[in-house]
Amino acid sequence: MHSSHQIILAPSILAGDHADLKSSLKEIEAAGLRWVHLDIMDGHFVPNLTFGPQTIKAMRSASTLFFDVHLMLDNPDKFVDAFIDAGAEQVTIHVEPDYPVAATLQHIRERGCKCGVVLNPDTPAEAAKPYLEACDIVLLMTVQPGFGGQSFREDVLPKMETLAQWRGELGLSYRLEVDGGVDLKTASACTSRGVDTLVAGTAFFKAADRKAFSAAVTA
């Protein structure tokens, strides 16, 4: 079943121009979109590195987009303040590493920032259940995190249905976001299962007509 939320497309700037992030932000704005998805990687939780709070701070002064910051870090609790201070408006944290997830969600909220948990493709839905009431958003990875341009994992589709069902049953209103291998075809498979927030890196930045792609995905 479809979500009650309006469908949002949040392009992942990982697929943007890392020598000119400002222009990639402008391309997202030019496509008429409001969110940018910012992938933060530490080289430990995922086998890749991206950028830190200083880069986010620089992008913050160059854009009015909503900063959806995805922390792929072994110890996100140690970094949430730095990213919120830098301009993050939403911070999502993985449930897989060993740190105080609930306390970190609460701290993000206390800072006036939206919060959510992230599940890797092989992490069962049950791992998110203890935190759902504290979440503004739940992010389901449809690729193993670390790199853009991977293929969408259809085995995550049932997990979307489960999270959408729990949202209704528990009377909650978290957004349901997916991330990895999202394109025109896979997006509709997600939104028909209650997903309302789509991260697309490659498909957005490689689209011939980004505005048309964005309109089609969020229709």
Give the interface with Zn ion as residue ranges (CB under 5 A): 39, 70, 179
Residue 200 makes contact with ligand DX5 by CB under 6 A = yes
CA distance 24 to 37: 12
CA distance 111 to 4: 27
- In 3D space, the residue among 162, 189, 187 whose CA is nearest the CA of residue 11 turns out to be 187
User: Looking at 130-138, 141-149, 170-178, 207-215, which segment touches ligand DX5 (CB under 6 A)?
Assistant: 141-149
User: Looking at 108-116, 120-128, 140-148, 162-170, which segment touches ligand DX5 (CB under 6 A)?
Assistant: 140-148
Site size toward ligand DX5, by CB under 6 A: 21
- The DSSP bridge partners found for residue 69 are 38, 91
Q: Which entry of Zn ion, ligand DX5, none binds 210, CB below 5 to 8 A by partner kind?
A: none
Residue 136 makes contact with ligand DX5 by CB under 6 A = no
Of 87 and 201, which has the nearer Cβ to ligand DX5? 201
CA distance 130 to 56: 30
Q: Which of 39, 77, 136, 196 is catalytic?
A: 39
Q: Using CB under 6 A, which of 8, 9, 12, 159 touches ligand DX5?
A: 12
User: Within positions 173 to 192, which residues make up the interface with ligand DX5, using CB under 6 A?
Assistant: 179-182
Report CA torsion sign: 219, 197, 69, 84.
positive
Q: Which entry of ligand DX5, Zn ion, none binds 146, CB below 5 to 8 A by partner kind?
A: ligand DX5
How near is the Cβ of 1 to Zn ion at its closest, in Å? 25
210 class by beta-carbon count within 10 Å (0-12 exposed, 13-18 middle, 19+ buried)? buried
Residue 149 makes contact with ligand DX5 by CB under 6 A = yes
42 is catalytic: no
CA distance 91 to 71: 7
By three-state DSSP, how is residue 41 classified? strand
Residue 138 makes contact with ligand DX5 by CB under 6 A = no
User: Within positions 46 to 105, which residues make up the interface with ligand DX5, using CB under 6 A?
Assistant: 70
Q: Which of 74, 179, 183, 209 is catalytic?
A: 179
Give, in order, the Cα–Cα distances in Å from 168 to each of 92, 112, 157: 21, 25, 17
Helix H or strand E segment including 39: strand 35-41
39 is catalytic: yes
Cβ atoms of residues 10 and 35 within 8 Å: yes
Q: Please report, as ranges, the residues that interact with ligand DX5 according to CB under 6 A.
A: 12, 14-15, 37, 39, 70, 143, 145-146, 148-150, 179-182, 199-203
- Catalytically annotated residues: 39, 179
